[in-house]
Structure 1
Amino acid sequence: MSDNSSLLRVSNASLLPPLVDWTPPTFTPAAQARVAATMVLFVFAAISNLALLISVSRGRGRRLASHLRPLILSLASADLMMTFVVMPLDMVWNVTVQWYAGDGLCKLLCFLKLFAMQTSAFILVVISLDRHHAILRPLDSLNAHRRNRRMLLTAWILSALIASPQLFIFRTVKAESEDFTQCVTHGSFHERWQETAYNMFHFVTLYVIPLLVMSCCYTCILIEINRQLHKSQEGESLRRSGTDMIPKARMKTLKMTVIIVMSFVVCWTPYYLLGIWYWFQPDMVKVTPEYIHHLLFVFGNLNTCCDPVIYGLFTPSFRADLARCCRCRPPADSPRSLDRLSARHESDPPKAT
Structure 2
Amino acid sequence: MSDNTSLPSVSNASLLPPLTDWRAPSFTPAAQARVAATTVLFLFAAVSNLALLISVSRGRGRRLASHLRPLIISLVSADLMMTFIVMPLDMVWNVTVQWYAGDGLCKLLCFLKLFAMQTSAFILVVISLDRHHAILHPLDSLNAHQRNRRMLLLAWSLSALIASPQLFIFRTVKVKSVDFTQCVTHGSFHERWHETAYNMFHFVTLYVIPLLVMSCCYTCILIEINRQLHKSTEGESLRRSGTDMIPKARMKTLKMTIIIVLSFVVCWTPYYLLGIWYWFQPEMLKVTPEYIHHLLFVFGNLNTCCDPVIYGLYTPSFRADLARCWRCRTPAESPRSLDRIPHENTSPTRPA
Q: Which TM-score bucket, shorter chain as reference?
A: over 0.9
CA contact (8 A) 1:249 1:345 kept: no
Q: Which amino acid aligns with 2:347?
A: D
CA contact (8 A) 2:267 2:302 kept: yes
CA contact (8 A) 2:3 2:184 kept: no
- 1:126-165 to structure 2, matched below 5 A, reads 126-165=126-165
Aligned to 2:295: 295
Deviations 1:120-152 (A, max 9, x none): 000000000000000000111100000000000
Aligned to 2:92: 92
Aligned to 1:323: 323
CA contact (8 A) 1:110 1:167 kept: yes
Report whether the alignment pairs 1:214 with 2:214: yes
Q: Which runs of 5+ in 1 are unaligned?
A: none
- 1:65-214 to structure 2, matched below 5 A, reads 65-214=65-214
CA contact (8 A) 1:247 1:345 kept: no
CA spacing shift, 1:245–1:271, aligned 2, 3 Å: same
Q: Tell me how far 1:336 sits from its aligned partner.
A: 2.4
Aligned to 1:259: 259
Q: Tell me how far 1:57 sits from its aligned partner.
A: 0.2
Equivalent position SS for 2:172: strand
Report whether the alignment pairs 1:227 with 2:202: no
In 2: Cα distance, 1:124 partner to 1:141 partner: 20
CA contact (8 A) 1:55 1:318 kept: yes
Equivalent position SS for 2:11: coil
In 2: Cα distance, 1:232 partner to 1:88 partner: 53
Q: Tell me how far 1:204 sits from its aligned partner.
A: 0.1
In 2: Cα distance, 1:252 partner to 1:131 partner: 11
In 1: Cα distance, 2:328 partner to 2:225 partner: 40
Q: Tell me how far 1:331 sits from its aligned partner.
A: 6.1
CA spacing shift, 1:241–1:189, aligned 2, 3 Å: same
CA contact (8 A) 1:20 1:177 kept: no
Aligned to 1:241: 241
Aligned to 1:348: 347
Q: Tell me how far 1:18 sits from its aligned partner.
A: 5.3
Q: Tell me how far 1:3 sits from its aligned partner.
A: 2.8
Equivalent position SS for 1:172: strand
Deviations 1:27-60 (A, max 9, x none): 0000000000000000000000000000000000
In 1: Cα distance, 2:301 partner to 2:159 partner: 19
Q: Tell me how far 1:240 sits from its aligned partner.
A: 1.1
C-alpha RMSD of matched pairs (Å):
1.5
In 2: Cα distance, 1:246 partner to 1:180 partner: 61
Q: Which runs of 5+ in 2 are unaligned?
A: none
Equivalent position SS for 1:236: coil
Structure 1 stretch displaced more, 117-126 or 4-13 = 4-13
CA contact (8 A) 1:170 1:188 kept: yes
- How many residue pairs align between the two structures? 349
In 1: Cα distance, 2:217 partner to 2:18 partner: 48
Deviations 1:89-116 (A, max 9, x none): 0000000000000000000000000000
Q: Which amino acid aligns with 2:327?
A: R
In 2: Cα distance, 1:126 partner to 1:17 partner: 41
CA contact (8 A) 2:174 2:181 kept: yes
CA contact (8 A) 1:20 1:176 kept: no
Aligned to 1:47: 47
In 1: Cα distance, 2:145 partner to 2:216 partner: 22
TM-score scaled by length of structure 1: 0.96
Q: Which amino acid aligns with 1:234?
A: E
In 2: Cα distance, 1:75 partner to 1:11 partner: 28
CA contact (8 A) 1:19 1:176 kept: no
